[in-house]
Structure 1
Amino acid sequence: MNTNMLDAINAAKPKLRRRITTVPVGGAKAITFQAVVGHRRALLGAILTAIVVLVAVVSIFWTPYDPTAFKTGAPFSPPDLAHPMGTDVYGRDILSRIMAGAQVSLTVAASAVAAAAIAGTVIGLVAGFVGGVLDLLATRIVDIMLAIPGLVFALGIVALLGPSARSVTVALAIVYTWQFARIVRSVVISVRSRSYVEAARGLDVGPLTIMGKDIFPSVLPILIVQVTTALAWGILDEASLGFLGLGVQPPNPSWGSLLIEGRQYLYDAPWLALGAGSVVVVAVLGVNFLGDGLREIVDPRSGRKN
């Protein structure tokens, strides 16, 4: 009788396993297309972000002028029909350089955030799930890294690697990794003791499977929100490092390098800095609006109106 009961339990494990993995995760709402469209702030952020990304994509195939070509117009030409955002000291078209600069700025920010999200998620998942000494060690390292001002740490890394877009990407990825690790770990800590996780352990499910199929779905909505937040910071930090001359080097443009070029002629030709500065503001606002909207969608306790 006992043998027959044990055989029945073992035979039922696959079905029970499938039922456990479909248990809805409490505490977070799903991010759907309908939810974003129905949320004014998220929708506005998505539209602004899409416009900036579209400009960057279009610039790969077309710009009004060659962004590095000299004397496409008279030097310091104010905005007109031929050059809607004017020209710089070398007669280069500002609009073309802003469009080309969007490629660099968005690529650096997106690449850094993507790398940080992957590395930070792995660290947070493993540390939070395993616990014990590993969790304590990971927590201490995260605390130490977050205690260092991020931009200062990035400056040091870029100084070691040399000024370039790749160096900025590596530096920002290292800085943002610990933010993702802390957030993911906190979610894992709150999820790992839930009944469906304990049930999966009782069915002798492997730890990688539990982390991937039972815990990660709880992490994903919060992770998406954190990605948008980090992306906004990535755009700002890339512009800051470019403004200090540590990003992409001339004559190739980035939003940060355009800002430092415009700063020298702020009183004589204000349109030089105004164009790049306006694009940075629009990009950051768009991503921030999107992130705030997603946060309100995800958090079921949020009482704020959209």
Structure 2
Amino acid sequence: MLTGRVILGATLVGIVLVVAVVGLFWTPYPTSLPDLPNRFQSPSLNHLMGTDELGRDIFSRAMVGARTSLIISLSAVLLATAVGTLVGFVAGYAGGVVDLVLSRLLDILLAVPALVLALGIVAMLGASGTSVTIALAWAYTPTFARVFRGVVVAARDHPYVEASRGLGLSAPVVIAKDLLPTVLPVMVVQVTTALAWGIMDEAGLGFLGLGVQPPAPSWGSLLIEGRQYLYDAPWLPIGAGVFVIIAVLGTNLLGDGLRDVLDPRSWTTRHSGRRARA
């Protein structure tokens, strides 16, 4: 049964996706052409989020930036999911020395905060959208691998998995037939939650000047563009900030709600605790 969090989260995410898709074909104003007579216009009916130092409409640029930021975040998360799934399944299913070596490597990577690791990778590769995608994927992969490994380790000794092994099925077949369906609910929740990380980290790297480079807009680059005019025109970073808040809140609510829907144990535990307190 869909919960209120799932519905609200899906609604907020849907709003952001609609804005991003519409931005592919139409924006209220050109996003790159300067309009100097209208520079530093405060929010109004003509310019919902005001204009920047070159007279460009901030709402229009935020619409185009939504596409860039979401593509980078989604690409990074999907890449991390693919690599993390492979590493997690190999480590969890093989066990023994393979699991020990891979787990220690994951521990080393997890010891470094994801954003710090991403900063170092972007610094080596150079500031660009592709570099941010690779950096975030690299930073998120250990977390995905660790989560999926844990699920596989918990499921690999179940009777139905042992039965498939006893029938002589190969490891790839056992993984695809028995273990992958067990991991899929966790994967859905993990991907949804990680999208919030990706959106925030892309905006953070863009704010530091290491993301998509001007004049191409992204939420992160829009945040830093208004920094030097913050006291005179405080509305400049608000446009991108509002979209970041909506997107992160929506993905967090959606991920939390999907966890309740896909994992009945969390719903039972939470409601049992409520009844005990009552």
C-alpha distance in structure 1 between counterparts of 2:106 and 2:34, whole Å: 47
CA distance in 2, matches of 1:255, 1:144: 31
* Counterpart contact for 1:45–1:287, Cα < 8 Å: yes
SS in 2 for 1:304: helix
State the AA in 1 paired with 2:175.
Answer: M
The answer to whether structure 1 residue 198 and structure 2 residue 162 are counterparts is yes
Alignment of 1:225-244 (within 5 A): 225-244=189-208
Amino-acid identity (%):
59
Deviates more, 1:56-65 or 1:231-240: 56-65
- Give me the TM-score of the superposition, normalised by structure 1: 0.86
The residue aligned with 1:124 is 88
Aligned position for 1:110: 74
Residue 56 of structure 1: CA displacement? 0.6
Whether contact under 8 Å (1:296, 1:304) holds in the other structure is no
Match of 1:84 in 2: 48
- What is the RMSD of the two structures over their aligned residues, measured on CA atoms? 1.1
The correspondence for 1:304, drawn from 257, 260, 270, is 270
Q: CA deviation at 1:274?
A: 1.3
SS at match of 1:301: helix
How many residues align? The count is: 269
Give yes or no for contact 1:65–1:72 (8 Å, CA) kept in 2: no
1:128-176 alpha-carbon deviations (Å, 9 max, x no partner): 0011111111100110000001111111110111000000000000011
Which one has a bigger Cα radius of gyration? 1
Instruction: Return 5+ residue gaps in structure 1 as ranges.
Output: 1-34
In 1: Cα distance, 2:124 partner to 2:155 partner: 40
Structure-2 residue corresponding to 1:188: 152
Report how far residue 73 of structure 1 moved.
5.7
Q: What is the aligned counterpart of 2:174 among 206, 210, 222?
A: 210
Q: How many Å separate the matches in 1 of 2:125 and 2:270?
A: 44
Give 1:160's aligned residue: 124
- The equivalent residue for 2:30 is 66
Cα distance in 2 between the residues matched to 1:113 and 1:145 = 17
Find 2:64's aligned residue among 91, 100, 105.
Answer: 100
- CA–CA separation in structure 1 for the residues paired with 2:219 and 2:37: 21
Give the corresponding residue for 2:245: 281
Instruction: Report the CA distance between 1:45 and its aligned residue.
Output: 0.3
Q: Which runs of 5+ in 2 are unaligned?
A: 272-278
Asked whether the equivalents of residues 72 and 93 of structure 1 are also in contact (C-alpha less than 8 Å), the reply is: no
Q: What's the TM-score, normalizing by structure 2?
A: 0.95
**1:292 pairs with one of 249, 252, 256:** 256
Stretches (4+) displaced over 3 A:
none
Tell me the CA shift for residue 69 of structure 1: 1.2
SS for the counterpart of 1:275 is helix
Q: Measure the CA separation in 2 of the matches of 1:277 and 1:304.
A: 33
Q: Which amino acid aligns with 2:240?
A: A
* SS at 1:245 equivalent: coil
C-alpha separation in 2, matches of 1:165 and 1:286? 23
CA contact (8 A) 1:180 1:226 kept: yes
What residue identity is the alignment partner of 1:202?
G
Amino acid aligned to 2:48: P
